[in-house]
Amino acid sequence: MRVEHEGVYVAVGSAGGQEKDPVWVRNLIVHPEAEVQDGAKHHTGLRARPIDGAEREEWWPRCVEAFPPYADYQRRAPRQIPVFLLEPAVD
């Protein structure tokens, strides 16, 4: 699902509310380099960063607005669904 706000994209590891995170979550933690294809726009040089606390609370409603089933997935998941911001890499 496309979750974007002011040029920052989000990846949501919902796995449909299953018990475990999708495998790509661990891959993204180990290798945070990312690319996003948004329609005709291709964004390279992004870095994935897991968020929690107040930052997650700010972004989670945006995720649910973009894809309302995320709310149901979180209710039934026995874990907090991971959320990653995909931001331009700063070296």
**pTM listed for this prediction:** 0.92
Maximum CA extent, the chain: 39
Domain count, the chain: 1
Angle subtended by helix axes 69-76 and 53-66, to nearest 10: 130
Structure tokens at 32: 């945070």
Mean pLDDT score of the chain = 95
37 lies in which domain range? 16-83
Q: Which residues contact 40 (CB under 8 A, 6 or more apart)?
A: none
CATH number, position 32? 2.30.110.10
Sorting pLDDT into bands at 50, 70 and 90, what band is 25? very high
Residue 10 domain flag: no
Sorting pLDDT into bands at 50, 70 and 90, what band is 89? confident
